[in-house]
């Protein structure tokens, strides 16, 4: 089998995990040929795992080495766009960890570079390849459900104690992570929201910053969505609830769909609610309960990695196109902007990229570095330069 020669930028938790998928044979169409990181101990670890891999402390040197045709970017968030733009400039294919970046202005520039390069660009929105959500998307597309009235998603199973926030210098500050649960944990579900239901036209959000933890950034969010067709939605998330819940409710003309505990249950009306109402019925609509079978083989990140390699090598369709990274980020940026403007409604069709960037800069300027920040001094210096 032909294998995609791939370099990894950032050999922390996720970078080493991607290498592990390849070493375990879960991504047979990919080989890791180079690794780049600012921390020497991580490069030593890469050589321990993969003795033949080339190691670099500078991404541009790795890009120019000719050792890889593609790269996986798995650094802290702020660095994603600049690293991707440079990779595109070297003619490389890019798989980027989520989120694509921290602010939309940055990711728009990233997307322009991707278009110009004409190479494969994918974001690791790995929940798109899980059996549950693949099945749900097909069900929504193939089933006559009528108008979707309301979407409610409670995602509070992202519990993260204070020790998590203190575990790395870059976590949970405006200057080095760029946000909290909306930027770190929730890009997956926010991406699924727009993937399954399309982008809302406007939203309003109540966001708490440091409600449960000694952090600067968000740890509790409730957002209300509106669509021009009349659909409404509520999205709730927190890293401070235990035990948490992950439950998606979809109310439509033909009934209600509940997605929870890896199951999809459809309470199907005998007829459309609108038709039942028009017929003058004066009782509840009879329903039948169906559990929609989830049959796909389980896979998460390794599925995206295989898809990325197949897209480069064979022209397969990309599951999570990198250009769609802007839609997820627009939603999360809008939630922050709504909160910063006193729970204002934000127009997603005309999102004010510059205004968001300016307000984020105000928070970066007053952001307080972690006590262990020297371990990431090179990274912090780099992102501060990039922000200016």
| Chain mean position to CA 46 | 26
pLDDT digits over 246-267, tens only?
999 999 999 999 999 999 999 9
* Reduced DSSP (H G I as helix, E B as strand, rest coil) percent helix, strand, coil of the chain, to 5: 40, 25, 40
Domain assignments of the chain as residue spans, ordered by start: 4-124+300-321, 128-298+328-353+355-373
Q: Kind of pairing, strands 346-347 and 287-292?
A: unpaired
pLDDT interval class at 298 (50, 70, 90)? low
Residue partners of 157: CB distance under 8 A and separation at least 6: 243, 244, 245, 246
pLDDT digits over 120-168, tens only?
999 999 999 999 999 999 999 999 999 999 999 999 999 999 999 998 8
How is domain 128-298+328-353+355-373 classified at the architecture level of CATH?
A: 2-Layer Sandwich (3.30)
pLDDT at 381 over 70: no
Residue partners of 24: CB distance under 8 A and separation at least 6: none
**Rounded to the nearest 5 degrees, what angle is found at the Cα of 35, between the Cα atoms of 171 and 380?**
30
**pTM for this structure?**
0.92
The CATH number for 4-124+300-321, chosen from 3.40.50.720, 3.40.50.150, 3.60.110.10, 3.40.50.1220, is 3.40.50.720
| Chain mean position to CA 223 | 17
The reported pLDDT for the residue numbered 376 is 45
Cα–Cα dist 329/334, whole Å: 8
pLDDT digits over 167-185, tens only?
888 889 999 999 999 999 9
């Amino acid at each position: 089998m032909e294998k995609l020669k791939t370099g990894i930028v950032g050999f922390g938790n996720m970078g080493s995990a991607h290498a592990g998928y390849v070493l375990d044979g879960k991504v047979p169409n990919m080989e890791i040929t180079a690794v780049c990181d600012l921390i020497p101990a991580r490069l030593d670890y890469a050589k321990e795992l993969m003795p033949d891999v080339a190691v670099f402390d500078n991404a541009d040197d790795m890009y120019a080495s000719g050792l890889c045709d593609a790269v996986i970017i798995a650094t802290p968030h702020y660095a994603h766009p600049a690293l991707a733009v440079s990779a595109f400039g070297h003619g490389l294919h890019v798989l980027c960890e989520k989120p694509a970046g921290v602010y939309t202005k940055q990711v728009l520039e990233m997307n322009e570079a991707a278009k110009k390069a004409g190479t494969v660009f994918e974001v690791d929105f790995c929940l798109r390849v899980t059996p549950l959500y693949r099945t749900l998307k097909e069900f929504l597309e193939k089933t006559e459900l009528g108008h979707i009235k309301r979407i409610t998603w409670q995602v509070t199973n992202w519990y993260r104690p204070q020790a998590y926030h203190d575990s790395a210098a870059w976590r949970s500050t405006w200057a080095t992570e760029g946000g909290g649960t909306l930027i770190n944990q929730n890009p997956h579900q926010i991406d699924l929201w727009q993937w399954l239901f399309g982008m809302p036209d406007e939203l309003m959000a109540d966001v708490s910053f440091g409600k449960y933890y000694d952090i600067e950034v968000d740890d509790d969010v409730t957002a209300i969505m509106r669509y021009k067709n009349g659909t409404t939605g509520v999205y709730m998330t927190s890293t401070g609830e235990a035990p948490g819940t992950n439950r998606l409710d979809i109310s439509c003309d033909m009934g209600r769909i509940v997605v929870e505990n890896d199951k999809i249950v459809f309470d199907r009306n005998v007829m459309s609610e609108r038709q039942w109402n028009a017929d003058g019925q004066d009782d509840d609509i009879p329903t039948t309960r169906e559990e929609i079978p989830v049959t796909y083989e389980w896979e998460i990140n390794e599925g995206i990695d295989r898809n990325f390699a197949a897209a480069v090598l064979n022209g397969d369709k990309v599951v999570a196109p990198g250009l769609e990274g802007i839609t997820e980020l627009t939603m999360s940026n809008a939630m922050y902007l709504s909160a910063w403007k006193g729970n204002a409604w934000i127009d997603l069709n005309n999102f004010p990229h510059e205004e968001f960037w300016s307000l984020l800069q105000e928070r970066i300027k007053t952001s307080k570095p972690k006590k262990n920040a020297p371990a990431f001094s090179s990274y912090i210096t780099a992102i501060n330069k990039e922000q200016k």
